[in-house]
């Protein structure tokens, strides 16, 4: 199965954790695959940050008012006239392709979830990267219809990546 074409450029960074044998390139491809499955073909950039629980908990507290660790956060770039708290705090927007924003993943939380769910850390990270990327592209899951649409694109991306076991169950 060939990968959908995506013009998404991803800057991947690791901070405060050891990713061992995990491939950042694989996670970049996960973001690009999710964007491609969503039909996104506009040249754009995003940042992916793999970090520790403390950094993610601090960001979650500071920008969402929730003082708890979470697996993934997505901070979309501000659109003109909009205020998006915490938008693009990893890299500043520059002239050129559109800057979508930042996806931040807590590696220790992802490790725990992979163990609880019985699949590999790589598959869990592909899920989290795809999920965060789709949020940057405007997908939400607060309402049942939104969740169904997001889960479908997410599932297609995970199947294409060979990580289908990480796909959450279809919403009721």
The CATH number of whichever domain residue 59 belongs to comes to 3.40.390.30
H-state helical runs in 9-163: 24-37, 53-64, 107-117, 121-136, 144-161
pLDDT in tens, 55-104: 999 999 999 999 999 999 999 986 444 444 344 444 455 567 899 999 99
User: Does 108 reside within a domain?
Assistant: yes
User: Does 2 reside within a domain?
Assistant: no
pLDDT in tens, 32-54: 999 999 999 899 999 999 999 99
Dihedrals φ, ψ of 69, to 5°?
A: -70, 150
User: Does 42 reside within a domain?
Assistant: yes
User: Does 3 reside within a domain?
Assistant: no
Question: Which structural domain, as residue segments, surrounds residue 42?
Answer: 8-166
Q: Please report, to the nearest 10 degrees, the dihedral formed by the alpha carbons of residues 29, 94, 61, 140 taken in order.
A: -50
Q: Are strands 98-106 and 72-76 parallel, antiparallel or unpaired?
A: antiparallel
Q: Is the pTM of this model over 0.85?
A: yes
Give the count of domains, the chain.
1
User: Does 172 reside within a domain?
Assistant: no
User: Does 1 reside within a domain?
Assistant: no
User: Does 83 reside within a domain?
Assistant: yes
Segment holding 165, helix H or strand E:
none
User: Does 171 reside within a domain?
Assistant: no
């Amino acid at each position: 199965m060939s990968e959908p074409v995506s013009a998404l450029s991803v800057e991947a960074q690791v901070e405060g954790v050891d990713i061992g044998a995990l491939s950042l390139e694989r996670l970049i491809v996960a973001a690009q695959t999710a964007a491609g499955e969503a039909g996104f073909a506009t040249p754009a950039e995003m940042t992916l940050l793999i970090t520790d629980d403390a950094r993610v908990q601090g960001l979650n507290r500071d920008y969402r008012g929730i003082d708890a660790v979470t697996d993934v956060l997505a901070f979309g770039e501000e659109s003109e006239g909009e205020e998006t708290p915490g938008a693009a705090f990893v890299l500043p927007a520059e002239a050129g392709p559109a800057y979508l924003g930042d996806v931040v993943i807590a590696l220790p939380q992802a490790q725990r979830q992979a163990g609880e769910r019985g699949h590999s850390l790589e598959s869990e990270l592909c899920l989290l990267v795809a999920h965060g990327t789709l949020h940057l592209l405007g997908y939400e899951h607060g309402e049942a219809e939104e969740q169904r649409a997001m889960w479908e694109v997410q599932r297609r991306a995970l199947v294409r990546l060979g990580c289908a076991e990480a796909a959450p169950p279809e919403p009721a």
